[in-house]
A and B are shown apart, each in its own frame.
Chain A
Amino acid sequence: EVQLVQSGAEVKKPGESLKISCKGSGYSFTSYWIGWVRQMPGKGLEWMGIIYPGDSDTRYSPSFQGQVTISADKSISTAYLQWSSLKASDTAMYYCALPYYYDSSGPGDYWGQGTLVTVSS
């Protein structure tokens, strides 16, 4: 069974750094793109970027380029989203996701449970 399990909720102060994680299991971690989606309180969904763990090819949506860093450690099947200096406006729920794909097992599309990040002084 494919699963994406995210790290727990975080409460941080403006200016602090943060790295949240998403551990994949039940599939070949290095063979599928994995992405991050932001949902600000009461708002819609925004793709932030995506990484191919097999070769670490990373692409960012223009709005998030330079604002966050996406990485992956294939040795532990874990993707990361990190900030070097948080702002109050980074307060949001963050989801990791395996966006739609089709392989020998058929179609797939999987999401983590979400990590709530609260940035407040």
Chain B
Amino acid sequence: DIVMTQTPLSLSVTPGQPASISCKSSQSLLHSDGKTYLYWYLQKPGQPPQLLIYEVSNRFSGVPDRFSGSGSGTDFTLKISRVEAEDVGVYYCMQSIQLPSYTFGQGTKLEIK
């Protein structure tokens, strides 16, 4: 299985300040079709995960533009330009290059100071 490693595992951020989460994969997520199968999810307390970013850098429907994704190959980053109170929860990166062995990172818990 591809191992996804996130850092940090927890973040405490003042509202209005930026936040950044790193995700590294044990193998390249670049497929021969030219796409990179890396996604970012947010799981708010008591809810199922919700997709934020697909294929490294594309914001999903309804996701605010303060969220952005970047990276390539095995190294990826999720950035929040200005954290808001509603952004609390656990952030997961996920790879889907290997069907059916999709894997998630360990999760990064974001708290508001």
Interface, chain A (partner B; CB < 8 A): 35, 44-47, 49-50, 59-62, 95, 97, 99-100, 106-107, 109, 111-114
Interface, chain B (partner A; CB < 8 A): 1, 39, 41, 43, 48-51, 54, 58, 60-61, 90, 92, 94, 96, 99-107
Main SS of the interface on chain A? strand
Residues of chain B contacted by A113 (CB below 8 angstroms): 48
Give the nearest-CB partner of A96 in chain B. Answer: B48
CB within 8 Å for A61 and B1 given contacts A100-B54, A107-B54, A107-B61: yes
Give the nearest-CB partner of B100 in chain A. Answer: A59
CB within 8 Å for A61 and B49 given contacts A44-B107, A107-B54: no
Chain A nearest Cβ from B41, distance in angstroms? 8
A/B interface sample: 18 pairs, CB < 8 A = A35-B102, A44-B104, A45-B92, A45-B104, A45-B107, A46-B104, A47-B102, A47-B104, A61-B100, A61-B101, A62-B1, A95-B48, A99-B102, A100-B96, A106-B61, A109-B51, A111-B48, A112-B48
